[in-house]
Amino acid sequence: QKEVEQDPGPLSVPEGAIVSLNCTYSNSAFQYFMWYRQYSRKGPELLMYTYSSGNKEDGRFTAQVDKSSKYISLFIRDSQPSDSATYLCAMSDSQGAQKLVFGQGTRLTINP
């Protein structure tokens, strides 16, 4: 079993919908949680960075971490066609950003 599990999709939704992306993990040492967006043939782009449990909001994006359930989520409000990409969750323990464990990535398509 992988340390981080993420549904690879693909996920297809209409423009304007609320998108929910999720990851589960097994390593209770993980403390730092990130979401990256990766367009085709590009490197991952950092979207959200959170520490421990709780919510964090940035524009149309909201990240939630529930350490008790070992479950993290990314919500995208008012989704746009330009949000179409692969979304990767990543996490790390006390070693931080220098050694990330990634989920498989969810391919998301927003249909106009």
The alpha carbon of 5 is separated from its chain's Cα centroid by a whole number of angstroms, namely 11
Three-state SS at 48? strand
Instruction: Give the nearest distance from C-beta 95 to another protein in angstroms.
Output: 6
- Output 5 or 62, the one with its CB closest to another protein: 5
- Report the nearest approach of another protein to the CB of residue 61 (Å): 15
Report how far residue 21's alpha carbon sits from residue 88's, in angstroms, rounded to the nearest whole number. 9
Give the bridge partners for 74, in sequence order: 21, 63
Q: Which residues bind another protein (CB under 8 A)?
A: 31-32, 34, 36, 41-46, 49, 51, 88, 90, 92, 94-105
Please state the closest distance from residue 84 (CB atom) to another protein, in A.
18
